[in-house]
Amino acid sequence: MSKPRGLPNKLTLFAPTTEPDTLVVKANYATGWTAKDLKVSSAAGRLAISVNSDQPVTLQYQAPGLVPGLIISLLTTLATARLILKPIER
């Protein structure tokens, strides 16, 4: 296996294999890790990826709830700005 490269939320790995196997990465498993067209699971608390060829594997992490949280924050900021700039007339 080659040395992992990438950012804290993205890893690219290469582990040559000639048959289907499970690649276990020394990183804690958490909901939110994905790999295109591959199954990501937990093996004793570590990241486990089912691989079936000698292609590079790219893992990416996105915190669950990040996008909805950003949308809610943006809408709340816009609503607050509207109230501050133009209060509701009674």
Any domain includes 37: yes
Query: Which pLDDT score, from 0 to 100, does residue 7 have?
Result: 61
Which residues lie below 8 Å from residue 41, measured CB to CB, with a gap of 6+?
A: 29, 48, 49, 50
Task: Kindly report the pTM of this predicted structure.
Answer: 0.63
- CA 44/CA 67 separation, integer angstroms: 29
Report if residue 18 sits inside a domain: yes
* pLDDT tens by residue, the chain, 90 residues: 555 555 678 888 888 888 888 889 888 898 999 998 888 999 999 999 988 877 888 889 888 898 999 999 999 999 999 888 887 776
Q: How many domains does the chain have?
A: 1
**Residue-number span of the structural domain to which 55 is assigned:** 5-63
pLDDT value of residue 16: 83
Residue 78 lies in a domain: no
- In a domain? residue 50: yes
Token pair listed for 37: 């067209």
Q: What is the pLDDT of residues 29-52, one digit of tens each?
A: 989 999 988 889 999 999 999 888
